[in-house]
Structures are given as C-alpha cells and as structure tokens.
Amino acid sequence: MSESEKAVALITHVKHFIGPAAVNRLLREEMTVVCHDRTFSDAGARAAFQSEQPGAAILTATEPAEIAAELADRFGRLDALISNDPYPAIRAPIDEADPEDFRRALEALAVWPFALIAKTSAMMKRRRSGRILMLTSAAPLTGIPNYSIYAAARGTANAMVPTLARELARWGISVNAVAPNYIKNPDYFPPELLANQEAMAKMLKNIPLGRLGESEEVAELVALFAGGRCDFVTGRVIPIAGGWA
C-alpha cells in the first residue's frame, strides 16, 4: 500500500494519558499515525519525539482550526480521530470547589475536543466515512465523591457521543468513547503514586479484578476502532475499568 493510500489517524496530546500507548499500538497498523501535542510548537520537542517514534508524523499546529488545516494540507484526508484529552482530577468537596477550576476542566475535556471534532468532521463528511473516538473516563458513569469537577467535565464529553453519532451517521462516520479508570498512565497514576503501597492497597479494593489496568489494554480498543474493524458500533461509551464501572 502506498503512503497516499494509507488511512490517516490523528492522536491528540500524545505525550499524555493514553497517548504514548496509542501511538505505539497504531504504528503497528497499516495507517499513517499523525501526532499532536501542545509542546510540538517547539522544534526541539518535535525532534525529540520524532527520535522516539520515527514512524510517526508530527503536526506543528496546536489548536483545532490550525490542526484541521494542516491535516488537509499535508495529508488531504482524515480517517480516524482519537481525541485523547488530559486534565488533572482535582479533589474538592463541592462546598470548597472553585468554579474557575470547573471552567478550565470543561475547556480542556469538553470544549477543546468539541472544537476539534467540529473542524475535522468536515473532512470526513467530504469522504463520507470516518471514525471518531474520544478517550474520556468511566468516572461519571459511577461517580466518585469529591471529584465532581472532573466527573462532570468527563461526563460532558461522554454525553456528546450518542448525539454526534446520530448526527454524523448519514455520512458514514462513527462516534464512540473509550472510558478508562484505574489505568496506569503518566497523568493519573504517576510512579510516585504506584510506589505508595498504602494508597494502592486502598485503591485496589475498589476494583473487582483486583489490579490496575495497563495503558496498552486501552490502546488495543483504540486500534480496534481506529482500524475500522467494528464500524457498525456507534454512539457507545465503553468503560474499561476492571469491573468498577
């Protein structure tokens, strides 16, 4: 298959959340893997990432409109969008929570991906095909006391999925979310937390499978959707949380 014939998959914020594992997994697919990160506006950051992932294509654009324009200019198509959006899970009882923290969480976890989907779905409509996969969280499916900011922002993203799926289905575009929780990743389970035996023992009691999940397990689901092997599934939020959700 020539480079021009390969499907193009975009992964956002590749240095965070499920990004590293998703890049590694999709590079084994027969597709062009395009990577976005806010740090890639810096040439040094792009070069460092390229040396780590020589098979990846790197965007210089960092914001939704510019990302869509660069994709159109360089690749002329987008077959799969993996919206991988991180933001800290701030612990705050509701009577102490700062509304400004809530606004920032909504911007990062709902408004930013909404804007990117708005811009990139137009490219998919022209080809009458495409796959949109949001990497969100299982937190709003069950609820976590004192984490209303994070759960509500992630819940907003989850709520987009069934509506956008119905809206975009006529153009052959599927929309789904993979919703992790209790998954090892650099943003939510850093090494210092994993090394805290007391905290981990308390946490593991909540997980029916009795362990944390691996980012690579989430990446397998990403590859399943991005690779087009389950295109008849749309409008679903799929938890991956060891039975917790």
- Cα-based distances in Å from 228 to 30, 151, 207, 221: 11, 29, 31, 11
The upper half-sphere exposure of residue 52, i.e. CA atoms within 13 Å in the direction of its Cβ, equals: 14
* Phi, psi at 177, each rounded to 5°: -135, 140
E strands present in the chain: 7-11, 31-35, 57-58, 80-84, 130-135, 173-180, 237-240
Is 87 noted as a catalytic residue in this protein? no
SS3 at position 191: helix
Position 116: which residue type? L
Annotated catalytic residue within 87, 147, 150, 188: 150
Residues identified as active-site:
150
